[in-house]
């Protein structure tokens, strides 16, 4: 275990600090909900809206998980 302040941060704190990560998080969630809403509003184009929305959400999750793991990794 390290004495680093970053090692004590929760996953939520890691994805919302600094502000650039918060903006990225908000944009990813807005894009996801917009894609789902547009898919519901236009059922004939449902896949064209919802598949990219899910891909954006999955990419956001992977990036934030990697940042969390990197923040918790022991420092040399």
Closest CA to 8 of 71, 50, 66: 71
Q: What is the pTM of this model?
A: 0.72
* Domain limits, the chain: 18-70
Which pLDDT tens digit goes with each residue over 5-50? 555 677 777 667 777 788 888 999 999 999 999 999 999 999 999 9
Helices (H) and strands (E) in the chain, counts: 3, 0
Predicted confidence at residue 19, as pLDDT, reads: 76
* pLDDT score, position 6: 54
Structure tokens at 60: 């956001």
- Look up residue 65 and give its two tokens: 């998980």
């Amino acid at each position: 275990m390290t004495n680093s302040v970053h090692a004590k941060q929760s996953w939520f704190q890691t994805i919302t600090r600094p502000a650039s990560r918060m903006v990225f998080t908000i944009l990813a969630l807005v894009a996801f909900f917009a894609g789902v809403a547009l898919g519901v509003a236009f059922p004939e184009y449902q896949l064209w809206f919802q598949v990219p929305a899910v891909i954006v959400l999955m990419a956001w999750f992977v990036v934030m998980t990697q940042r969390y793991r990197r923040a918790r990794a022991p420092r040399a």
